[in-house]
Amino acid sequence: LRLKDYDGASDADTHVLEQRPNDQKALYRRGLARLRLGEMSDATDDFQTLLKNDPSMAPAIRKELETVCGVTAGGLHPPWADLFKGAGA
């Protein structure tokens, strides 16, 4: 992700997730890569799975969404705002 090779990061994390479907780091990284690639539906799926497994990730996900979407705290709209219902963020 640091190299901005979002396709490569997504592919690498997909490979990890094939072996370990609930790997939180891979879900987070792939979600971020997909978000940067504009693959919003797929990014949402990754973030929803991650939040189900670890609701404490909500602040980190929210920060990235706000950065990429160019909004301030509280300015996220569905489907993004819906991710955080019941997640404690």
Tokens in use for 29?
């990284």
Q: Which has the closest alpha carbon to 76: 58, 51, 49? A: 58
Q: Is the pLDDT of residue 31 over 80?
A: yes
Q: For the residues 34-40, what does the mean pLDDT come to?
A: 86
| Of the candidate ranges 10-19, 23-32, 57-66, the one whose mean pLDDT is the lowest | 57-66
Looking at every residue in the chain, the average pLDDT score rounds to: 81
Give Cα 21 distance to the centre of its chain.
Answer: 15
Say if residue 72's pLDDT is above 60.
no
Higher pLDDT, 63 or 83: 63
